[in-house]
Amino acid sequence: MAGGLRRPPAHRNDLLLRLQVGFLASTSAELSNVRFFLSLIVSHCRWSKEEQSAALSTATDSTAQELSEWNAKYREKFGFVFMICASGRTAPEVLAELKRRYANRPIVELEAAAEEELKITELRLAKLFSAETAAPPTSGSSNRTRPPITTHVLDTALGSPAAGIEVHLEMWKDATSPPSFDNKEFKGWTTLGTSITNNDGRSGQLMDNVDNVAPGFYRISFNTSKYAPSGFFPYVSIIFEIKRSQTTEHFHVPLLHSPFSFTTYRGS
C-alpha cells in the first residue's frame, strides 16, 4: 500500500480500543455540530454500500427493489445513504432496520449512522488482523487466541477507558426454562468468571479459552456503582443468547457507560 500503513500494529485490541475512544471523544464533543456528522458519514458512504452487498446478494427481486426505493427515500430525507453494519444480516432484516430508522429525527439518525460506521470499522480491522496473524494451530490446543466472550468498558462522559470496574460473567443453567422477562430467578445463573477492568478498560479472562462455546443464555454484569457512585445505575447487566449455530464465533460485548446512560452492542 504505497504511502500508507503496510501492516497493522501488533496489538489488535489496543488499536480497536483507541479507535473507539477517539470516536466517542470526537462525537461527544461534536454532537451538536451537524456539519461534522454529515462530513463524517458522507465521506464513508461507500462503506455502507459494501456492507449491504452481502445481504443484497441473497435478496429476492422484490426485496432488492424495495431496498433500492427505501435507500432513495432515506437519502432524500437525511442527505446521505443508509449506513448499517450488515454483517450476518439478511436482506429483510436490513430493510426492516432501514424502515425503522427512517422515522428518526435527523440528529438522532446522524448519531445512529456514526455508531454503525464505528461497528463497520471495528469489523474490518478485526478481519485485517485475522488475515495478518492467522497461523496453524498447535496440536491439542484451542484454535482461539482469546476466550469466546470478552468485554471492555468505555466512559462516554470522559471519552476514555473505564478502569477498576468489577465484571461478572454468568450462564443460565436452569434446563427447565430459559430466562425471560417473566422468569428472572437468580438461582438459574451460574458464575463463569469475574475480573476487574484494567487501565485500557478491558476485563481479564472471564471464561475458559475453548473452541466451541456452549450455546445458551449468558449474562455479563458491571458494578458501576463503585466507578460512578453518584450515577443513576448501581449496576448494569446485559443478557444475550448464543445459538447452536454460533458456537465457534466470538462475542465481544462492550459497555459504553456514562452516569445517566449506557449502551452496548455485539462487537468483534
Torsion sign across C-alpha atoms 8, 10, 16, 17: negative
The reply to whether 152 sits in an annotated binding site is yes
The reply to whether 218 sits in an annotated binding site is no
The reply to whether 202 sits in an annotated binding site is yes
Q: Which candidate, 30, 34, 119, places its Cα nearest to that of 83?
A: 119
Longest dimension (CA), the chain: 59
3-state secondary structure the chain: CCCCCCCCCCCHHHHHHHHHHHHHHHHHHCCCCHHHHHHHHHCCHHHHHHHHHHHHHCCCHHHHHHHHHHHHHHHHHHCCCCCCCCCCCCHHHHHHHHHHHHCCCHHHHHHHHHHHHHHHHHHHHHHHHHHHHCCCCCCCCCCCCCCCEECEEEECCCCEECCCCEEEEEEECCCCCCCECCECCHHHEEEEEEEECCCCCECCCCCCCCCCCCCEEEEEEECHHHHCCCCCCCCEEEEEEECHHHCCCCEECCEEEECCEEEECCEC
- Say how many C-beta atoms besides its own lie within 10 A of residue 101's C-beta: 18
Which residues are part of a known binding site for substrate?
A: 152, 202, 265
Residues making up the binding site: 152, 202, 265
